[in-house]
Amino acid sequence: MMAAGARETVISLSGVTKAFEGNAGHLVALKDIGLDLYAGEVLALVGPSGCGKSTLLNIVAGIQSADHGTVTVFGKTPGKDGSTALGYVFQEDRLLPWRTALRNVTFSLEAGSVLRSERDRRAREALALVGLAGFEASYPHQLSGGMRSRVALARSLVLDPPVLLMDEPFGRLDAMTRSQMHGELLRLKGLFGMSILFVTHDVDEAVALADRVIVLQPRPGRISTVLDVDLPRPRDTAGPEGAAVVSRLKSLIGS
């Protein structure tokens, strides 16, 4: 039983280390990473290129394995019996060009035993949730970048995951569309009660979305700072309070 006031931990990493062998020799991508993601929290990972942000997300997802350390999602090992708790939104939307928006979303359900009629119903609901009702029959080339991002988000939401992993999913969008997607993501988080682990290069994005920001430093990738972002939402990163947090975070990163 959790103590009164304690937060439920949904993802826990302890002592996570990962190295790769390549032309440059032995590269330690991550060293002794320890962090917790709490229920209902948005946790952002920021840092310069090469600090292991995406590698860390892939380890949490069970796509890659750590050389040392432990990773649990709701107390289970990801990639084995814990993987069903995770949705993953990648840097690229990864939509299948020969499938409509509806069929791209139903693709997430096709590996299971869900009947086609139920897959279609759930996919239509997910597309409606992200504001794409009426675009079910559209192909990816017929959609704007923001709409494609919404389809990719719907493809994860259709699984009803309690935890969403996001690897710079809005990085290719223009500033206005990216801001719209921030609002959409926070709306859906409130609707579903999800916990979100979010990788970004964009400091303003981290401040706009996250409850806490973890700053990683490279060679080897390691946690240097954990910053609480205690600002009311919606956040204006150009306003005095938001700009102060953005400035502090940039100084911590060294950008």
State the CATH number of the domain containing residue 178. Answer: 3.40.50.300
The pLDDT of 85-102, averaged and rounded, is: 92
Residues 6+ apart with CB under 8 A from 134: none
Look at residue 83 and tell me whether its pLDDT is greater than 60: no
For residue 67, what pLDDT band results from cuts at 50, 70 and 90?
very high
The pLDDT of 223-228, averaged and rounded, is: 95
- Output the pLDDT for position 99: 97
Q: Is residue 4 part of a domain?
A: no
State the pTM of this model.
0.90
Q: Are residues 63 and 114 in the same domain?
A: no
Of the three residues 160, 178, 208, the one that is the final residue of a domain is: 160
- Output the pLDDT for position 49: 86
Structural domain of 37: 9-85+161-254
Q: Which residue has the higher pLDDT, 85 or 205?
A: 205
Q: Is residue 174 part of a domain?
A: yes
Q: Are residues 76 and 175 in the same domain?
A: yes
Q: Is residue 90 part of a domain?
A: no
Each residue of 42-61: pLDDT tens digit? 999 999 888 999 999 999 99
Write down the mean pLDDT value for the chain: 90
The tally of domains found in the chain comes to 2
Each residue of 175-215: pLDDT tens digit? 888 898 999 999 999 998 999 999 999 999 999 999 999 99
Residue holding tokens 């509806």?
Answer: 102
- Asked if residues 152 and 74 have their Cβ atoms less than 8 Å apart, the reply is no
Q: Are residues 41 and 155 in the same domain?
A: no
Hey, is 140 helix, strand or coil?
Answer: helix
**Token pair for residue 86?**
């995770």
- Asked if residues 177 and 205 have their Cβ atoms less than 8 Å apart, the reply is no
The pLDDT of 116-144, averaged and rounded, is: 95
Q: Is residue 18 part of a domain?
A: yes
- Output the pLDDT for position 21: 82
Q: What percent of the chain has pLDDT over 70?
A: 93
- Output the pLDDT for position 82: 46
